[in-house]
Amino acid sequence: MIHESIAEKLDIEKFSPTSNTFRIADLGCSVGPNTYIAMQNIIEAVEEKYKSKGLESQLPEFQVFFNDHVTSDFNTLFTFLPPERRYFATGVPGSFYGRLFPKSCIHIMHASYALQWLSKVPEEVADKDSAAWNKGRIYYSSAPVEVANAYAAQYAKDMDNFLNNRAKEIVAGGMLLLIMISNPDGIHRSQMGCGVMYDKVGSSLVDMAKEGLISEAQVDSFNLPVYTASPKEVICLVERNGCFGIERMMTTHPQLRNDDNVDEQICSMSMRAALEGLITEHFGSEIIDELFDRFHKEVAGFNLMDSRHKKGILLLLALKRK
Amino acid sequence: MIHESIAEKLDIEKFSPTSNTFRIADLGCSVGPNTYIAMQNIIEAVEEKYKSKGLESQLPEFQVFFNDHVTSDFNTLFTFLPPERRYFATGVPGSFYGRLFPKSCIHIMHASYALQWLSKVPEEVADKDSAAWNKGRIYYSSAPVEVANAYAAQYAKDMDNFLNNRAKEIVAGGMLLLIMISNPDGIHRSQMGCGVMYDKVGSSLVDMAKEGLISEAQVDSFNLPVYTASPKEVICLVERNGCFGIERMMTTHPQLRNDDNVDEQICSMSMRAALEGLITEHFGSEIIDELFDRFHKEVAGFNLMDSRHKKGILLLLALKRK
């Protein structure tokens, strides 16, 4: 989809002929190798586009900006940069919910598996006096509608912020390529596959609180800053924002392997990789091994292929700066 | 000097009016805080320049590129970025003897205490069969003229490379501001203050080899990739290169404190900070404590104010891209 979007929709003729630099950013890039591969793919697609337009002699130099939180490991990211890369590499520390770049300087931005992270947990869900207080849970999937609404509202606000900041930074005719974890339209939140997983981490924490290993108040004040929107929801937010046109949209169903043992292992490791930092920050590092041992046991008794729990989908969106 | 050079010599009117981003790079920035202070100074000077020209309404956004070797600690650099900074911060890993940026994109480059580092030790000085073999020493200051010539030739080659690459990256009218450790013109290499210090590290290594703590061959194959040129030498290289005009030049004599104990401590710590990485790479980390204990004792018996050993000077150069 990225190749096609660039081939068909990127307006390279519009870009300033005075600058022969093509700038690409990967937002929420983490430490590789996925980000190197994604950037390489985009560069190849842009080069093909120049060639197909007969502009081979005007092939630009590429500059790639790798962005992630300031706490991300940029040293490792830089150490493993592909030695044969054909671009100038730079690192940009900071949240993509704020400004990261000067005005109108990036031609293509890419964010993969990044926008499910909210800028923060919605305040109401940790507030005892709110109807949206999320007592005894860490996520919204099996929570009352007030909790789910608070999460959805935070997501909408974050997404608008994200799009407004990107609109300032992307040149006219430039593209924003998003790969997002999503839920099929029309699926109730309680049926989301990832929700089931987060709930199991939550119930492991609740069990540990019952056994006195952590306090109940600690569990009640912990919530995941994660939201997975449906394609309809995302499209509605992009249209309401108005800075970008939707050029292409695609959903795919990622295949789980048919070997349940592998799945358990992958599931448990992925969850730990994703959540360890957040959980350590709130509870301290001492509980991590115990927690994920418990989680692993819970997942072991759970059929990931169970049709009652819908698999998440991937939503691929190619947006163009109006 | 930086303020004055920018005020008097920077051609902001020449810069592309289509781009409202002003890009600054610090080459060999290390991990702060000096680099933050230097970048802040430059930004303030540029802002003043815009104001003094009545171009306050066109004040650009600033993007700062912090460059150092890929092994530098960018995580720490990013963690301690001043929170109140008025620029977009980016990190650029790589040697400044190669290309670091796309063509014509940086308005001001700055390198402070960086260019005394050669890209590599000149090959001849580690070659037993060469007249420039630097047996039993790690530096050129007290070495035969063949060794000194090999170092000077490497410096000339590196400097030319450096200037050629910067010439590609700096916009026409942009500036290259250099702060360099230098030696007063006309001083013989054997009288350079820093040479005396390096020689003492060398003689400590030779002593350790005599005692069998390291091998003689290891010492013979170790040389410091450091060269300090005189102002005349630098100016000659800049003029021969031809890409930059010399707008301003200044030398200063950094003051040593008059308290010898402090000096010993500072001298010993600075030397360890500068050389530990290189020495560890060649000899392993086990010898470091022993080596710098020995070095500290040698320095303790040495009068840093001794007039026979000339202090180094700082050379400040403001160059403009022709």
- The one-character DSSP state at A192 is B
**CB-CB contact of A76 with B91 (8 Å):** no
Inter-chain CB proximity A20 and B79 less than 8 Å: no
Q: How confident is the model at residue A300 (pLDDT cuts 50, 70, 90)?
A: confident
The tokens describing A222, both together, are 């912990």
Which region holds residue B63: left if phi is over 0, alpha if psi is between -120 and 50, else beta?
beta
**CB-CB contact of A108 with A175 (8 Å):** yes
Strands B87-93 and B61-68: parallel
> pLDDT tens digits, residue range A130-189?
999 999 999 999 999 999 999 999 999 999 999 999 999 999 999 999 999 998 888 888
Task: Give the separation between CA A302 and CA A94, rounded to whole angstroms.
Answer: 38
> pLDDT tens digits, residue range A205-242?
999 999 999 999 999 999 999 999 999 999 999 999 99
Task: Give the separation between CA B267 and CA B244, rounded to whole angstroms.
Answer: 35
Inter-chain CB proximity A92 and B89 less than 8 Å: yes
Radius of gyration of chain B (CA): 21
The tokens describing A166, both together, are 């990107």
Q: Which residue has the tokens 């290390």?
A: B30
* A168 and B CB contact within 8 Å: no
Inter-chain CB proximity A78 and B93 less than 8 Å: yes
The residue in chain B having the minimum alpha-carbon distance to the alpha carbon of residue A60 is B102
> pLDDT tens digits, residue range B141-164?
999 999 999 999 999 999 999 999
- CA quadruple A181, A183, A188, A194: dihedral sign: negative
Residue type, B181: I
Taking contacts as CB-CB distances below 8 angstroms, the residues of chain B near A18 are: 16, 18
Inter-chain CB proximity A103 and B63 less than 8 Å: no
- The one-character DSSP state at B209 is H
Question: Within 13 A of A157's CA, how many CA atoms are on the CB side?
Answer: 11
Taking contacts as CB-CB distances below 8 angstroms, the residues of chain A near B24 are: none
Taking contacts as CB-CB distances below 8 angstroms, the residues of chain B near A78 are: 70, 74, 91, 93
**CB-CB contact of A115 with A180 (8 Å):** yes
CA distance B88 to chain A (A): 6
How many CB atoms lie under 10 A from the CB of residue A131? Answer: 12
Task: Give the separation between CA B3 and CA B44, rounded to whole angstroms.
Answer: 8
ipTM of the complex: 0.92
Tell me if the pTM is above 0.90.
yes
pLDDT along chain B (322 residues), means of 10: 92 77 97 95 96 91 97 97 97 98 96 96 94 94 95 98 98 95 89 85 94 94 95 97 96 65 74 92 94 88 62 90 93
* pLDDT value at residue B303: 65
Task: Give the separation between CA A246 and CA B172, rounded to whole angstroms.
Answer: 39
Taking contacts as CB-CB distances below 8 angstroms, the residues of chain A near B81 are: 70, 93
Residue type, A22: F
CA distance A92 to chain B (A): 5
Inter-chain CB proximity B70 and A79 less than 8 Å: yes
- Pick the residue of B63, B68, B99, B105 with the most A CBs within 10 A to test the interface with A by mutation: B105
Residue B14 has φ and ψ, to the nearest 5°, of -75, -25
Task: Give the separation between CA B38 and CA A4, rounded to whole angstroms.
Answer: 45
Task: Give the separation between CA A69 and CA A63, rounded to whole angstroms.
Answer: 20
Q: What average pLDDT score do residues A32-52 get? A: 95
**CB-CB contact of B249 with B315 (8 Å):** yes
* B50 and A CB contact within 8 Å: no
Q: What average pLDDT score do residues A258-274 get? A: 73
